[in-house]
Amino acid sequence: MVRIFLLLCLYISITSCASKKEPSTDESKTKAIFSFIFDDLNTSDTLVKSIFDEYNMKPSFALVSSKLDSTSAIIYKSYYDQGISILSHSVSHPKMNDPLINEDTVDFELKSSKQNIEKYGINTSGFVTPYSLMHPKFLKLLEKYYTYSFTNNSKDKFDKTVNKHALSRYGIESNISTSDHSIDKIKSRIDSAIKNGELLVFYGHALPSRYKDDLGNARVNSDDLRRILSYLKGKTDNKECKVLTSDLAISAYYK
Ligand SMILES: [Zn+2]
């Protein structure tokens, strides 16, 4: 009798366990991933890094490789060793949708900028197009050197249908309020990215920003960045999304 009772208990526990393994709609849904890339190689990158440290998050940096020298390379190599992604942002920052730029020039910029960074022991698998927009005819060149590229050819899509060399980003400077520094627009973009399970990569430049607000002050300052990170920290603590370096964000989102 006892044996039958135990067998019955075992059967119930196995069947209830099996039913728990069924993925719920929520678990199978793609989770949003966010990332932050700061362009151009600015001396304020060290400030950006220290602000991200406050939130236990990591930024990524896209370097114009002609500005990289043995002194600055020590800083970026130490960031790289801490898991920060270092991307290429060309050698000389030309417009890559200019009708006059030719394929050889673009190829040189893509290839040499990667070499210039990697000679310091920093592996570089991502590219950021200067002035955001790469002519679609050059997209095939990117595949030779990079795993992923921001070329603004995704037609405002931020999901898994986007080719990894057609990625777009979302500007902090262009989406913060120029009248009162409100980040409401950025918050609602974060909310919709979470709702739709998007990969949303923010970008900025120097901090404070060289772009101006309506009063002539920096359009984005350290406290603005802190407010954005603080909002996202609440979301990550609540397990609604992840904030990753760009290399990890791409591999996690497209896995
Ligand atoms: Zn740039």
pLDDT tens digits along 39-60:
999 999 999 999 999 999 999 9
Whether residue 24 has pLDDT greater than 60: no
pLDDT tens-digit readout, 68-120: 999 999 999 999 999 999 999 999 999 999 999 999 999 999 999 999 999 99
Neighbours of 248 (CB within 10 A): 17
Q: What mean pLDDT do residues 200-221 have?
A: 98
What separation, in Å, do the N-terminal and C-terminal C-alpha atoms of the chain show? 51
* Cα 212 to ligand 1 centre (Å): 17
Q: How far is CA 132 from CA 6, 53, 149, 224, in A?
A: 66, 27, 10, 23
| Cα–ligand 1 centroid distance for 242 (angstroms) | 26
What 3-state DSSP class applies to 221?
A: coil
Report whether pLDDT(158) > 90.
yes
Strands, DSSP E only, in the chain?
32-39, 60-63, 86-88, 126-128, 148-150, 170-171, 199-204, 241-243
Alpha carbon of 130 to ligand 1 centroid (Å): 5
Q: Is the pLDDT at 238 greater than 60, yes or no?
A: yes
- The full set of domains in the chain, from first to last, is 30-253 (3.20.20.370)
The alpha carbon of 28 and the centre of ligand 1 are apart by a number of angstroms equal to 37
Work out the pLDDT band at 156, boundaries 50, 70, 90. confident
Tell me if 34 sits within 8 A of 60, measured CB to CB: no
The predicted pLDDT at position 28 comes to 65
Distance CA(38)–CA(208), nearest Å, equals 12
User: Quick one: pLDDT band at residue 147, thresholds 50, 70, 90?
Assistant: very high
Total residues found in the chain within this entry: 255
User: How many angstroms is it from 172 CA to the middle of ligand 1?
Assistant: 14
Confidence category of residue 194, pLDDT binned at 50, 70, 90: very high
The model's pTM: 0.89
